[in-house]
Homo-oligomer: A and B are copies of this chain.
């Protein structure tokens, strides 16, 4: 294989506990987003659009769907002869195998993979961020600054800065200190979890870190502080634009809703920076005479006979007559029956909801922080079910509820 200027390593290993039931059977980067995308599409498209043609996707949690979804990489133009996209799970060396122990360890276990391409730079990315960024500009900046590492930062409100890893920099944006969630932040430059390293430098730090039993093998907690304390040159690269970590249900929901703003906060319509995704080959969507759709995103293959307000309707969704969808995300291939109300909810893939249901109704007259309701993948909600606001329900729970009901009925009979 030829030498590559820069290859990207995308950390997609996390289980994403904070996405609740959504990631019960699904790796976080494979969670649907914005009607026809999955979260990982944004990072992969950024790579392609930035001219980075070799991407390793590090994954160990339920990678099947992600693996199938990425396939040969063709949708993102990453089906390259020399390079392209590789899904990299943990593997056995000799008699032993070990799972990835942290972000840095995941890269460290794949040193051999990276060395094949003999890259000058390595770009470390997260698989659960929604943004558009030209990495080639960041690499250019890294090169100009003769940096050992460069970290992309976004300026947050100072009062929010205590929730982030904060970079304290000098005038030239060189980082002299890194503080993880500081109580009294000195700066508002929050790390976006996007790093450029000189590969040879990073490699040495990874090998040293691996031998350190006390380390958590994490970039933010271990590698960067260690590099700083050794006087390495680390610069902050300021990013301006939309960026959202969709690691929680709330932020995932909010980021979807941001797409409905007009003029857009986050514009997907830019032809020079297309977001690629695997196409399902579905027909155009259909809006019936009985439908009423306002402030919505509607994707291919769906059919709408009911009312949709301020919601995301994904590919292959069916919404029957007299139903009302409000402030919700309906994920691919969900089917909603007649005369059903869905509000402030996330309805996961392939959910079926019967007729006359009420899901997540907001109490009248109260305007406060939205409390989300989540129906998990493949769940079948029977007719006339009421799911109260804030609940998370999946098919297994439904079975439990059903069993319970049967038991109650039996006991009732027995009595």
Contact = CB atoms under 8 A, between A and B. Distances in A.
B91 A60 contact: yes
Interface string A65-107: 0011001111000011100101111111111010100000000
A116 B60 contact: no
A92 B88 contact: no
The 3 closest A-B pairs by CB, nearest first: A89-B89, A72-B72, A72-B79
A95 B23 CA distance: 12
Secondary structure type dominating chain A contacts:
loop
A61 interface: yes
A113 B88 CA distance: 17
Given A89-B89, A91-B60, A68 B113 contact: yes
A1 to B, nearest CB: 8
Contacts of A61: 91-93
Interface string A327-353: 000000000000000000000000000
Contacts of A64: 91, 110, 112-113, 116
A116 B69 CA distance: 11
Interface centre among A62, A68, A92, A112 (most CB of B within 10 A): A92
Nearest to A71: B84
7 contacts: A15-B95, A61-B93, A63-B91, A64-B110, A74-B79, A79-B79, A89-B90
A91 B58 CA distance: 12
Interface string A283-302: 00000000000000000000
Contacts of A87: 87
Interface in A151-171: none
Contacts of A84: 71-72
Interface in A106-128: 110, 112-113, 116
Given A68-B86, A81-B74, A92 B97 contact: no
A99 B88 contact: no
Interface centre among A61, A67, A72, A84 (most CB of B within 10 A): A72
Given A72-B73, A74-B81, A86 B99 contact: no
Given A62-B92, A89-B90, A97-B60, A116 B72 contact: no
B86 A92 contact: no
Contacts of A95: 15
Contacts of A113: 64, 67-68
A72 B70 CA distance: 10
A91 B62 contact: yes
Nearest to A13: B92
Contacts of A73: 72
Contacts of A71: 84, 86
Contacts of A116: 64, 68
Contacts of A63: 89, 91
A64 B58 CA distance: 12
Contacts of A15: 92, 94-95
A67 B92 contact: no
